Amino acid sequence: MIPRSGWISHGINLDEVESVADHSFATSALAMLVADGEVAHGRRINVERVLRLALLHDLAETLTFDISKSYLQYLGDRGEAIKDELEISAWGYIIKSIHDDSIRSKYGALHSEFNAEETLESQIVHAADRLDILFQIIEYRRRGYPKGLLADLWKSTNRKLTATRLPSVRDLQKIALHLYNVR
């Protein structure tokens, strides 16, 4: 199991930390839910593309592990750039192992699309990624972790989601907010 290290840096016990695989699955399920919700609102969404983006979005972490933003502070101003460099290199290594040129090219394009966050499909996956953080915080609260322990992460993630213009994301964000305040 590859743990999501950000939870550890926020004080979650290692044996209770969400894995990268758990996160990737939850993000994919949430991305599908958001995409289907947007289709129901009349938007044209390539749901298959959304799912492909979601399934691949953290694949490089199978080689680099999950490098938490809180750990990057020790690297100074270059921390984020070093993380990006590592993940790009890991992605390149993964892609090289795909022998079919057309598949390799397709996956490379998906990776670039996700990172650019310009298409509606990639925006849905980024929103789902953030929604998973909110729902995971709710789960840790359900397990008895104090509200204040993850309050900063809740606030910053919630703020990023507030900017979305996707009704389905806002609906799920409202549900998360209600659950967060119930506990």
**Residues 114-153: tens digit of each pLDDT:** 999 999 999 999 999 999 999 999 999 999 999 999 999 9
DSSP code string of 7-42: HHHTT--GGGPPBHHHHHHHHHHHHHHHHHHHHHTT
Amino acid (one-letter) located at 34: V
Residue 162's H or E segment, with its range, is helix 151-162
Q: What is the pTM of this model?
A: 0.92
pLDDT of 74 > 90? The answer is no
CB 170 within 8 A of CB 36: no
Q: What confidence category does residue 183 fall into, taking pLDDT thresholds of 50, 70 and 90?
A: low
Residues of the chain with pLDDT > 70: what percent?
99
Compute CA distances 134 → 92, 97, 127, whole Å: 30, 34, 11
**How many domains would you assign to the chain?**
1
CATH of the domain at 75: 1.10.3210.10
pLDDT of 177 > 90? The answer is yes
Domain boundaries, position 91? 5-182
- Beta-bridge partner residues of 34: none
